[in-house]
Amino acid sequence: MQNPLHTKDPSIFPLKHSESIKQYESRTDNDIWRAFNKGNEAAFNYIYRIYAPTLFQYGGQFSKDEGMLQDCIQNIFIDLRRKRGHLKEVNNIKAYLYKTMRREVLRSIKRQKRSSFSSWAHDDKVFPIEICHETKLIQQEYEMERKEKIESAMNLLTPRQRQAILLLYEEGMNFKEISEVMEFSEVKSARKIIYRALASLKLIIKNRG
pLDDT tens digits, 25-51: 889 999 999 999 999 988 998 999 899
pTM attached to this predicted model: 0.68
Distances (CA, A) of 10 to 4, 7, 14, 164: 11, 5, 7, 33
Rounded to an integer, what distance in angstroms lies between the CA atom of residue 154 and that of residue 168? 14
Of 102 and 206, more confident: 102
pLDDT at 5 over 70: no
CA torsion angle 96 98 103 108 (round to 10) = 140
pLDDT at 170 over 80: yes
Burial of 105 (0-12, 13-18, 19+ CB in 10 A): buried
Averaged pLDDT score across all residues of the chain: 79
pLDDT at 128 over 90: no
Q: Which helix (H) or strand (E) holds 114?
A: none
Instruction: Give me the pLDDT at residue 153, please.
Output: 82
Q: Which amino acid is at 115?
A: S
pLDDT band at 124 (very low <50, low <70, confident <90, very high): very low
10-119: which CATH topology? Rna Polymerase Sigma Factor; Chain: A (1.10.1740)
Structural domain boundaries in the chain: 10-119, 128-207
pLDDT at 83 over 90: yes
Of 133 and 170, more confident: 170
Ranges 29-38, 64-73, 115-124, 187-196: which has the least confidence = 115-124
If you average pLDDT over residues 81-107, what whole number do you get?
A: 93
Q: Which amino acid is at 136?
A: K
Burial of 114 (0-12, 13-18, 19+ CB in 10 A): middle
Query: What architecture does CATH give domain 128-207?
Result: Orthogonal Bundle (1.10)
Burial of 43 (0-12, 13-18, 19+ CB in 10 A): buried
If you average pLDDT over residues 61-78, what whole number do you get?
A: 91
